[in-house]
């Protein structure tokens, strides 16, 4: 509703009249614009003398203040989020002081390591054979309608995304029940799938073991298939928590969304190569161990693409360097906008699953590895069997000493600061006393 204005205004047929009984409005130049009756002069709007101040008048608290300043002043406990610095998007503002690094050696080291991390034909074939057999067994149960009715089966995970590591031939499937499954239903499904597998190939025992979220089955070729169970999304509101953990059901459905998103947006050779590198580095560097498979996928995609041009990824060496730069700049630190989960509603930050200690370790370790990378230690950084621990030991590269970064997070100090921030203020205490008196 527009605010009433009783200030001067002239109509084409003479002075416009105010409300009944108030007479004609004032002349055009007749003093300041007035607000509603009895409220004094109308507040001045921006552009109507807002920046005019008398000589010697002090600047008001609101003038020149940013939105973040105003929000923090109104609510000191609030935390304004920020965007982590990305050198790739700031080339115009920050020109290079030296020539761009030559990535030929880094590219060669990455290609060599990526080839070592890619599964060979035997592993890929063994995994594909077992996935095909398990899928056929579940499809046979769907047609036969044995036990609790199954809606569908989906292939997800690294096998679906083609990002498996050598020596780790593991595939993931999701079986969706039309009704909420129980522990008994999972065990029954595991037994029937094993029986179907033995019928198709009597030379293999297909060892199968059920767990609270599904079951695992393996073959004599060394492949492993992990089967996750879930139910239709509408059933998640009526889950009996004494029978199954609803988080397991939700997690299985999330893997389906992740696989679909990856296939539609991130199915580039550069992204897949960077994912393999990050998975390998996660196993070798303790500070990167908290990266989840989904965080690795999102980070690799962000590092390999530019906004508005996701179909043309960067070169692998450039994307690898940018990945460490983003982690070092604090893309997964508290208060950072980070990466919005594209498969969740409500602008969920993907790194919200990490603890404060894990976020600090990620940033600290990435900074150390980035300095090692800048010194040209490509093979030592990417390959296994290094003589020293690059993330925890002091190293020297061509006369340059690299000292590991020191974490900034102190759990004890953080708990003390949290108690101070959450402590009631004197104003809050006075308000509580007044409320009790009323």
Strand order in the sheet with 224-231: 150-156, 170-177, 224-231, 214-218, 208-211
Q: Is 219 left (phi over 0), alpha (psi -120 to 50) or beta?
A: beta
CATH number of 120-263: 3.30.460.10
Q: Residue range 31-43: average pLDDT?
A: 46
> What's the pLDDT score for residue 107?
94
For the chain, the straight-line distance linking the first and the last C-alpha, in angstroms and rounded, comes to: 35
Q: Tell me if the domain spanning 87-116+269-386 has CATH number 1.10.1410.40.
A: yes
Torsion of CA 243, 247, 251, 257, to 10 degrees: 110
Q: Report the candidate in 301, 308, 295 with the shortest Cα–Cα distance to residue 271.
A: 301
* Residue 216, φ and ψ in degrees, nearest 5: -120, 140
> What's the pLDDT score for residue 95?
83
The answer to whether the CB of 32 falls within 8 A of the CB of 42 is yes
> Is it the case that residue 38 has pLDDT exceeding 70?
no
> What's the pLDDT score for residue 431?
53
245 or 100: which carries more pLDDT confidence?
Answer: 245
DSSP string of 156-183, one letter each residue: EHHHHHT-PPTT--EEEEEEEESS---H
Instruction: Please give the distance of CA 428 from its chain centroid, rounded to a whole number.
Output: 36
> What's the pLDDT score for residue 147?
77
> What's the pLDDT score for residue 62?
47
Rounded to whole angstroms, the Cα distance separating 431 from 424 reads 11
> What's the pLDDT score for residue 276?
97
> What's the pLDDT score for residue 346?
82
Top mean pLDDT of 54-63, 99-108, 257-266 is at: 257-266
The answer to whether the CB of 425 falls within 8 A of the CB of 431 is no
> What's the pLDDT score for residue 79?
54
Question: What are the beta bridge partners of residue 214?
Answer: 211, 228
H-state helical runs in 66-146: 67-74, 104-117, 121-144
Q: What percent of the chain has pLDDT over 70?
A: 78
Band of pLDDT at residue 100, cut at 50, 70 and 90: confident
User: Residue 113 corresponds to which tokens in the numbers above?
Assistant: 């390591």
* Residue 173, φ and ψ in degrees, nearest 5: -125, 155
Domain ranges of the chain: 87-116+269-386, 120-263
User: Residue 250 corresponds to which tokens in the numbers above?
Assistant: 């939700």
Rounded to whole angstroms, the Cα distance separating 407 from 73 reads 29
Q: Report the candidate in 273, 270, 272 with the shortest Cα–Cα distance to residue 312.
A: 270
The answer to whether the CB of 282 falls within 8 A of the CB of 288 is yes
Q: Report the candidate in 122, 113, 87 with the shortest Cα–Cα distance to residue 326.
A: 87
Rounded to whole angstroms, the Cα distance separating 397 from 270 reads 28
DSSP string of 346-408, one letter each residue: S--BGGGGS-HHHHHHHHHHHHHHHHHHHTT-HHHHHSS--SS-TTTS-EEETTEEEPPP---
Q: Please write the tens of the pLDDT for every residue from 398-409.
A: 889 999 988 888
19 or 175: which carries more pLDDT confidence?
Answer: 175
> What's the pLDDT score for residue 241?
87
User: Residue 366 corresponds to which tokens in the numbers above?
Assistant: 């990435």
> Is it the case that residue 91 has pLDDT exceeding 50?
yes
Q: Report the candidate in 426, 324, 337, 336 with the shortest Cα–Cα distance to residue 377.
A: 324
User: Residue 307 corresponds to which tokens in the numbers above?
Assistant: 């906004």
Q: Report the candidate in 308, 303, 336, 339 with the shortest Cα–Cα distance to residue 322.
A: 303
User: Residue 183 corresponds to which tokens in the numbers above?
Assistant: 């522990």
> Is it the case that residue 160 has pLDDT exceeding 50?
yes
Q: Please write the tens of the pLDDT for every residue from 249-303.
A: 999 999 999 999 999 999 999 999 999 999 999 999 999 999 999 999 999 999 9
> What's the pLDDT score for residue 53?
43
* Residue 83, φ and ψ in degrees, nearest 5: -95, 130
Rounded to whole angstroms, the Cα distance separating 114 from 382 reads 9
Relative orientation angle of helices 121-144 and 183-200, to the nearest 10 degrees:
110
The answer to whether the CB of 111 falls within 8 A of the CB of 174 is no
Sequence length of the chain is 438
């Amino acid at each position: 509703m527009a605010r009433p204005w009783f200030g001067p205004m002239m109509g084409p047929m003479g002075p416009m009249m105010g409300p009944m009984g108030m007479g004609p409005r004032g002349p055009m130049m007749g003093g300041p614009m007035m607000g509603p009756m009895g409220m004094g002069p109308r507040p001045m709007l921006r552009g109507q003398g807002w920046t005019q101040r008398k000589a010697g008048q002090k600047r008001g608290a609101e003038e020149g203040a940013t939105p973040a300043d105003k929000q923090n002043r109104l609510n000191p406990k609030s935390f304004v989020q920020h965007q982590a610095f990305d050198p790739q998007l700031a080339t115009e503002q920050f020109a290079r002081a030296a020539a761009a690094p030559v990535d030929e050696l880094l590219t060669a080291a990455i290609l060599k390591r990526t080839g070592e991390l890619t599964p060979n034909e035997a592993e890929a074939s063994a995994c594909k054979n077992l996935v095909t057999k398990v899928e056929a067994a579940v499809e046979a149960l769907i047609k036969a309608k044995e036990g609790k009715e199954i809606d569908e089966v989906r292939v997800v995970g690294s096998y679906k995304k083609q990002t498996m590591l050598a020596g780790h031939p593991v595939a993931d499937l999701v079986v969706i029940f039309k009704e909420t499954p129980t522990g008994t239903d999972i065990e029954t499904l595991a037994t029937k799938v094993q029986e179907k597998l033995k019928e198709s190939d009597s030379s293999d025992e297909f060892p199968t073991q059920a767990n609270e979220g599904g079951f695992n089955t393996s073959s004599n070729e060394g492949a492993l298939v992990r089967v996750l169970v879930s139910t239709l999304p509408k059933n998640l509101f009526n889950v009996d928590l004494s029978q199954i953990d609803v988080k397991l059901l939700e997690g299985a459905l999330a893997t389906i969304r992740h696989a679909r998103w990856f296939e539609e947006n991130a199915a580039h050779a550069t992204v897949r190569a960077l994912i393999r590198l990050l998975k390998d580095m996660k196993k070798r560097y303790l500070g990167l161990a908290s990266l989840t498979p989904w965080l690795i996928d999102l980070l690799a995609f962000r590092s390999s693409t530019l906004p508005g041009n996701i179909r043309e990824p960067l070169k692998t060496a450039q994307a690898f360097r940018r990945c460490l730069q983003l982690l070092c700049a604090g893309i997964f630190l508290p208060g950072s906008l980070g990466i919005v989960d594209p498969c969740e509603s409500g602008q969920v930050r993907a790194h919200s699953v990490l603890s404060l200690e894990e976020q600090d370790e990620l940033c600290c370790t990435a900074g150390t590895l980035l300095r090692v990378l800048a010194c040209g230690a490509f093979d030592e950084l990417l390959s296994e069997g290094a003589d020293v621990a690059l993330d925890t030991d002091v190293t020297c590269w061509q006369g340059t000493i690299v000292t590991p970064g020191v974490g900034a997070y102190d759990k004890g100090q953080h708990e003390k600061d949290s108690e101070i921030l959450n402590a009631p203020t004197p104003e809050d205490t006075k308000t509580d006393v007044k409320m009790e008196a009323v």
